[in-house]
């Protein structure tokens, strides 16, 4: 296992759910973590969650992944503050599910700009530093990046896009020592579904999440830790983690 002590990480979408758990887990494992999101008040709640005596720390960084300049600034702030960049967890995302017919296309724009373009901006801005450190890019995708279903068309399209981009990037950089890791969670108990704007879909999503023993954000943080602490010659490229009760 590779130690994270002295390593520097940037986590996007760190103000709640999976990203918050990942940021805390990385800091507990000794990493210096820049935690990015738009809600800086929520980012300020992360540092007290890091275990007393842990070697790592958390630096809140205001970040809107849909804004390319904001992404560049967050990467620059991370490197200026901590001196390097070893691990990027590109995790920010929104899930505004609903049927194609009658959809509010503003939801589609927001999902493409955040989930797909946002993660591409993050990879682009961080890549020079990851090439220098022979670091790791972890990309949060979804089971929806492997199979689409009625009502999830636009969300699944962004996650299929994320998977395609990650695989292409992996082929470009793996022989230069940069590892690209796709994490594909099933249902995780977070704020994600609460942002659904279609009332019928919101009720369906809530019912679906209530019907299984969902994963906790920490379960996904454990998967991320597993991937980023492998020895340098081991690339865990894809991790699909579902709740045991989740069928599809
Ligand atoms: P949450 O809603 O709890 O967290 C989403 C995070 O993304 C928040 O920190 C939010 O921060 C951030 N975010 C959203 N838009 C932006 C933006 N424009 N710029 C920066 N940050 C942004 O949900 P999850 O933790 O569940 O979601 C994290 C990832 O996991 C997403 O990519 C999601 O698609 C994926 N996922 C989640 C699953 C689940 O069941 N929960 C299943 C499969 C995948 P803020 O609003 O403060 O900017």
Q: Which residues line ligand 1 (CB under 6 A)?
A: 12-19, 37-39, 42, 63-66, 91-95, 114, 140, 142, 185, 187-188, 190-192
Q: How many CB atoms lie within 10 A of CB 45?
A: 14
Contact 245, 213 (CB under 8 A): yes
- In the chain, what percentage of residues exceed pLDDT 90? 98
Q: What is the dotted CATH code of the domain comprising 8-241?
A: 3.40.50.720
Q: Coil, strand or helix: which one is 180?
A: strand
d(CA 188, CA 218): 9
What one-character DSSP code corresponds to residue 29? T
Give residue-wise pLDDT tens across range 55-67: 999 999 999 999 9
**For residue 214, which of 169, 244, 175, 170 has the smallest C-alpha distance?**
244
d(CA 1, CA 186): 26
Q: How far is CA 41 from the centre of its chain?
A: 19
Choice between 102 and 1, residue whose per-residue pLDDT is larger: 102
Concerning whether 155 is annotated as a catalytic residue, the answer is yes
Please determine, for residue 103, whether its predicted confidence score (pLDDT) is greater than 90: yes
Residue of 66, 92, 109, 188 to test ligand 1 pocket, by largest number of atoms within 8 Å of CB? 92
d(CA 26, CA 11): 9
Give residue-wise pLDDT tens across range 31-45: 999 999 999 999 999
Verdict on whether the full-model pTM lies above 0.85: yes
Q: Is 40 exposed, middle or buried (0-12, 13-18, 19+ CB in 10 A)?
A: middle
């Amino acid at each position: 296992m590779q130690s994270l002590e002295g390593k520097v990480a940037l986590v996007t979408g760190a103000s709640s759910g999976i990203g918050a758990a990942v940021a805390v887990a990385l800091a507990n494992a000794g990493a210096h973590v820049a935690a990015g999101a738009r809600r800086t008040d929520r980012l300020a709640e992360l540092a007290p969650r890091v275990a007393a005596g842990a070697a790592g720390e958390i630096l809140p960084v205001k970040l809107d992944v849909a804004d390319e300049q904001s992404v560049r600034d967050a990467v620059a702030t991370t490197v200026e503050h901590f001196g390097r960049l070893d691990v990027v967890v590109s995790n920010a995302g929104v899930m505004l599910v609903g049927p194609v017919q009658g959809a509010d296309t503003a939801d589609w724009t927001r999902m493409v700009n955040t989930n797909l373009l946002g993660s591409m901006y993050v990879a682009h801005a961080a890549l020079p530093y990851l090439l220098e450190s022979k670091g790791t890019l972890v990309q949060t995708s979804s089971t929806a990046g492997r199979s689409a279903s009625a009502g999830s068309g636009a969300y699944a399209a962004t996650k299929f896009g994320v998977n395609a981009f990650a695989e292409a990037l992996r082929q470009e950089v793996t022989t230069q020592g940069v590892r690209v890791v796709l994490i594909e969670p099933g249902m995780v108990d977070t704020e994600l579904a609460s942002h659904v704007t279609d009332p019928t879909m919101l009720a369906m999503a809530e019912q679906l999440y209530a019907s299984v023993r969902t994963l906790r954000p920490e379960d996904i943080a454990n998967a991320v830790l597993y991937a980023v602490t492998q020895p340098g010659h081991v690339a865990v490229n894809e991790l699909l983690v579902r709740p045991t009760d989740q069928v599809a």
